[in-house]
Structure 1
Amino acid sequence: MASSPHIRYGSLDGLRLSTGFARLPAAFHTRLPPTPLPEPYLVAGSVDAAALLGLDPALIDHPDFPALFAGNRLPEGAEPLAAVYSGHQFGVWAGQLGDGRAHLLGELDGADGPWEIQLKGAGPTPYSRFADGRAVLRSSIREFLASEAMAALGVPTTRALCVVGSDTPVQRETQETAAVVTRLAPSFVRFGSFEHWHAHDRTDELRILADHVIDRCRPALREAAQPYAALLRDVAQRTGELMAHWQAVGFMHGVMNTDNMSILGLTLDYGPFGFMEAFDAGHICNHSDHTGRYQYRAQPRVAYWNLYVLGDALSALIGRPEEVKTIIDEAFPAAFEARFLQLMRAKLGLATARADDTELINALFGLLQAGRTDYPAFFRGLSQLPGTVETAARRRIDAPVRDLFADRPGCDAFLTRWRARLAAEGSVDAERQAAMRAVNPKYVLRNWVAEAAIRQAREGDFGGVAEVLTCLRRPFDEHPQLAHYAAPPPDWATGLTVSCSS
């Protein structure tokens, strides 16, 4: 049987990494090998991420796979390094940071271009700040599942190839075990990568980094009259669109420091994240965020602020501060608003745009807020409802949505308004319902779902992780045998929290 044309690497020995970031001057990184992980074993792997690399998915089960992606042996051409960057953390300048527990191995050419391969949790680096450089099984499973879930939801994100575990003890709040998650991205350059050189008045290095990003990831910008201004505009636009995706899908990052913001507009660094369940615009998913800086409603505003910080760093290359501000003010709000309206119209099954759509969407969010309604369950339920219904049958037919609300009259009023909007554009139920089910997931990575899989994995059973991944990589499918993963949290999980150590 012939191999798939998408498979470029049919054996682990055939992997040949190239280097991009490693070719930058020595000041940009520190070269050092990963610290071997004792007796590594596979916890989970993503066939979808493997496909991005052109990697035969059967290799995930190869006995040498865990050692390779624990950092115990290196593929040919690897030049492992840890990158330096700086950043603002919780709005305060933190100075020099860097890859404190991540090693960039190099790049692998996939079907759509090169992917950087990074091992997170592979041991200490000069930027570890006295930490052990390790990740734990808990956080590694969470990042793995979230990365692949967000990709399946259509949200720009880094990817995760696998989690490799070890029984090696690691001390956090309690004693846990070590793990390494393999992350993929076209580039892991961050806003903070530019802040670092700006803070040291190193314009030459700032230009080298900007040229690296343009030439390798955004080559079309080289044709612009002012390529560095074009880069800032591109980042502002993509960040605006990313925030629209986060808000529409109900994702909360939890720690939007500038060193966690991707220059490519990707979701980067999954730590204390969360997906909205009982809707609360003021929800704080990070237990360490004592002031609520990164609560759900604040995410677009924080991204805007972070872009101003990036713009300040790039101002030495662009010119006048007024020009930098104008670029951001023109690009970010317009991109956010346009994409957010587009996504919300799709979630509501609206095929056309009307001037009062913003008012309709705001009314819905007010209703969800008042009722603390389960966010994914509401939209999934709405996807099943007909556009017209006889008055006598309305309560019965609408029950799957109405029963999510204590204020049923309020829900009825919204559904009446929604149906009038559908009628105004001549909506056809079968087509609309199919379209809505294709954008309103039945499954998101609820905290209790991740926690249940983690608890099972701690006992050496990784079947729960595999089951959850089955739902998350096809979140719009029904998966009737796994429908319990779409349920609100059980009693044991109502008090779950996550923090920066997650």
Structure 2
Amino acid sequence: MKEKQERNETGWNFDNSYSRLPHPFFSRMTPAPVRSPKLAILNRPLAISLGLDTQALNSDEGAAVFGGNRIPEGAAPLAQAYAGHQFGHFTMLGDGRASLLGEQITPEGDRFDIQLKGSGRTPYSRGGDGRAALGPMLREYIISEAMHALGIPTTRSLAVVSTGETIIRETELPGAILTRVASSHLRVGTFQFAAKWCELEDLKALADYTLHRHYPEGEAADNRYLFLLREVIKRQAWLIAKWQLVGFIHGVMNTDNMSISGETIDYGPCAFMDAYDPATVFSSIDVQGRYAYGNQPYIGAWNLARFAETLLPLLHDDEEQALKLADAEIKAFPKLFYGHWLSGMRAKLGIFNEEEKDEALVESLLDLMQKHQADFTNTFRALTFDKAKGTALFESEEFAEWQKQWQARLDRQPHPRSESHERMRNNNPAVIPRNHRVEEALDAAVSCGDYSVMERLLAALAQPFAHSPEQEEYTTLPSPSGRPYRTFCGT
């Protein structure tokens, strides 16, 4: 009775709606216990917003839950089944190292998946050990929380525990489990799995569930499944535009990593761009540049076309009519994306209204940035505070000419310069999780057990538009290196 009371006091309030879907979509399982779970970091603000007691979580009991050694009351652990195109090749996948505990219902009535990543083998592990290393889990914590602070829809990180165990990759590494929070873990790959290996009624059940959970306003639409397709396309167009506006490179935009809710999911080989170049790739496995920064909008459209294919049997009884409906929606994506991107670029340059030549003004600046290898974030930051000097870009005659055009553009709008300045401050972050700073924090935490470096970095990233003196040290560029920065999937 005492244990049950302690669990209730923690604030867990689980429902398990996903487990009420047809059985092909999941396998019930219990996370594999770990030797000695120890809390490495706890996201207190997120915990509070979920209705959880941070003191109870910051205990041996909390560590046991985050480590998979103890199942909270009301949870019903399972691993989700899904498929996906990985670098263009279709395959069966599923949660190979993750367990969905259930869905936490917040005091406000919102619903969030609580997932343990690195919690052991599942029926979908495909030969893997189901575990995760401390470094990659802390990395996902840092990047996902930075994305949230930037106002970009994302899964979030509630906690990371070290497991007291060693996992083997290229070398021995300390094990860890990340507790991930998401609006849901429904993916394009979930629908691909249903379309390929399930019955039509199962696919319909999945689509109805998705509508009810994420797009309830569409349940009364004349064609509810067309509504679903249209809304997912809208959210992804907005999401990818937000990525582009801060120089974020996902790194592994497989269809199983495209969330139906429109959140950024899976922070394996992701990174933020320093010098502007559309061909930038960080992932060690993306040797062809499929998921390069400049390709992300195109891959987004490709992934959404795969989603549309799964819905064809639901869109219309006549296959030809279904194809026409789906094709019309997919063709809307480029315009949607570009509208969001150009609007965002106007904001980054302090522009409120619209002129026909704005596109050329933006593209001209980006071309100059690429030519002079200018830092993406710091270039816009310098423009914000009228400190455009001291770099090859700012000292060039071409930039001087561009700046005249930009200033003239600002003069043609009715808003005063003070409002343009404020618009730029609110749309050009002072800090991003720069790769060398992230690596510095991870090295201190993993190699030395020193989390203070990571905590200071997280504090700076928590208010990216503050432009405070304390953030200045995090705006500096990495030292020149003969080797390109590389990221890894962390599996």
TM-score (norm 1): 0.91
Give the 3-state SS of the residue equivalent to 2:326 in structure 1. Answer: helix
* Pairing 1:376–2:377 present: yes
Which ranges of 4 or more aligned residues in structure 1 deviate by more than 6 Å?
Answer: none
Q: What is the 5 A alignment of 1:324-473?
A: 324-330=326-332, 332-385=333-386, 398-399=388-389, 402-403=390-391, 405=393, 408-458=396-446, 459-473=448-462
Identify the residue that residue 282 of structure 1 maps to in structure 2: 279
Give the 3-state SS of the residue equivalent to 1:270 in structure 2. Answer: coil
- Given residue 354 of structure 2, which amino acid in structure 1 is its aligned partner? A
CA displacement at 1:495 relative to structure 2: 4.1
Q: Deviations over 1:333-390 (max 9, x none)?
A: 23212211111111111111111111111111111111111111111111112xxxxx
* Pairing 1:475–2:471 present: no
Aligned length, in residue pairs: 479
Q: What is the RMSD computed on CA atoms of the aligned residues?
A: 1.9
Q: What is the 5 A alignment of 1:15-26?
A: 15-26=12-23
Identify the residue that residue 106 of structure 1 maps to in structure 2: 102
Moved more, 43-52 or 226-235: 43-52
C-alpha separation in 1, matches of 2:7 and 2:344: 39
Identify the residue that residue 322 of structure 1 maps to in structure 2: 324
Identify the residue that residue 166 of structure 1 maps to in structure 2: 163
Q: Deviations over 1:249-283 (max 9, x none)?
A: 11100011001110111111111001111111101
Q: Deviations over 1:184-234 (max 9, x none)?
A: 112101001011121126211111110111112211010110001100011
Give the 3-state SS of the residue equivalent to 1:64 in structure 2. Answer: helix
Give the 3-state SS of the residue equivalent to 2:327 in structure 1. Answer: helix
CA displacement at 1:63 relative to structure 2: 4.0
1:161–1:12 Cα change, 3 Å: farther
Counterpart among 71, 87, 90 of residue 74 in structure 1: 71
Give the 3-state SS of the residue equivalent to 1:498 in structure 2. Answer: coil
Give the 3-state SS of the residue equivalent to 2:175 in structure 1. Answer: strand
Give the 3-state SS of the residue equivalent to 1:105 in structure 2. Answer: strand
Give the 3-state SS of the residue equivalent to 2:121 in structure 1. Answer: coil
Identify the residue that residue 270 of structure 1 maps to in structure 2: 267
Check conservation: 1:19, 1:107, Cα contact below 8 A: yes
Q: What is the 5 A alignment of 1:206-225?
A: 206-225=203-222
C-alpha separation in 1, matches of 2:145 and 2:55: 18
- Given residue 196 of structure 1, which amino acid in structure 2 is its aligned partner? F
CA displacement at 1:112 relative to structure 2: 5.7
Check conservation: 1:285, 1:498, Cα contact below 8 A: yes
1:24–1:427 Cα change, 3 Å: same
Moved more, 32-41 or 357-366: 32-41
Q: Deviations over 1:279-308 (max 9, x none)?
A: 111011211101110001000001101111
- Given residue 326 of structure 2, which amino acid in structure 1 is its aligned partner? V
1:433–1:404 Cα change, 3 Å: farther
C-alpha separation in 2, matches of 1:377 and 1:266: 26
Q: Deviations over 1:427-474 (max 9, x none)?
A: 423332222112111111111111111100111111122111111111
Identify the residue that residue 3 of structure 2 maps to in structure 1: none
Q: Deviations over 1:48-96 (max 9, x none)?
A: 32243123444453443222211111111000000001111101112x1
1:494–1:346 Cα change, 3 Å: farther
1:334–1:101 Cα change, 3 Å: same
Check conservation: 1:146, 1:270, Cα contact below 8 A: yes
- Given residue 434 of structure 1, which amino acid in structure 2 is its aligned partner? E
C-alpha separation in 1, matches of 2:474 and 2:56: 29
Identify the residue that residue 116 of structure 1 maps to in structure 2: 113
Check conservation: 1:88, 1:257, Cα contact below 8 A: yes
Identify the residue that residue 228 of structure 2 maps to in structure 1: 231
1:408–1:47 Cα change, 3 Å: farther
Identify the residue that residue 126 of structure 1 maps to in structure 2: 123
Check conservation: 2:47, 2:54, Cα contact below 8 A: yes
Unaligned runs of 5+ in 2: 1-5, 317-321
- Given residue 244 of structure 2, which amino acid in structure 1 is its aligned partner? Q
- Given residue 273 of structure 1, which amino acid in structure 2 is its aligned partner? C
Identify the residue that residue 393 of structure 1 maps to in structure 2: none
C-alpha separation in 1, matches of 2:362 and 2:485: 30
C-alpha separation in 1, matches of 2:194 and 2:8: 40
Q: What is the 5 A alignment of 1:148-167?
A: 148-167=145-164
- Given residue 436 of structure 2, which amino acid in structure 1 is its aligned partner? W
CA displacement at 1:492 relative to structure 2: 6.9
C-alpha separation in 1, matches of 2:471 and 2:163: 28
1:376–1:112 Cα change, 3 Å: farther
1:64–1:10 Cα change, 3 Å: closer
Identify the residue that residue 392 of structure 1 maps to in structure 2: none
C-alpha separation in 2, matches of 1:403 and 1:135: 41
1:48–1:372 Cα change, 3 Å: farther
CA displacement at 1:10 relative to structure 2: 11
Check conservation: 1:10, 1:55, Cα contact below 8 A: no
Give the 3-state SS of the residue equivalent to 2:267 in structure 1. Answer: coil
* Pairing 1:203–2:205 present: no
Give the 3-state SS of the residue equivalent to 2:477 in structure 1. Answer: coil
C-alpha separation in 2, matches of 1:201 and 1:60: 39
C-alpha separation in 2, matches of 1:426 and 1:409: 29
C-alpha separation in 2, matches of 1:422 and 1:406: 19
Check conservation: 1:374, 1:404, Cα contact below 8 A: no
1:479–1:464 Cα change, 3 Å: farther
TM-score (norm 2): 0.93
Identify the residue that residue 133 of structure 2 maps to in structure 1: 136
1:488–1:12 Cα change, 3 Å: farther
Check conservation: 1:44, 1:465, Cα contact below 8 A: no
1:261–1:417 Cα change, 3 Å: same
- Given residue 80 of structure 1, which amino acid in structure 2 is its aligned partner? P
CA displacement at 1:148 relative to structure 2: 0.8
- Given residue 232 of structure 2, which amino acid in structure 1 is its aligned partner? V
1:149–1:404 Cα change, 3 Å: farther
C-alpha separation in 2, matches of 1:398 and 1:259: 42
Check conservation: 1:13, 1:75, Cα contact below 8 A: no
C-alpha separation in 2, matches of 1:137 and 1:147: 15
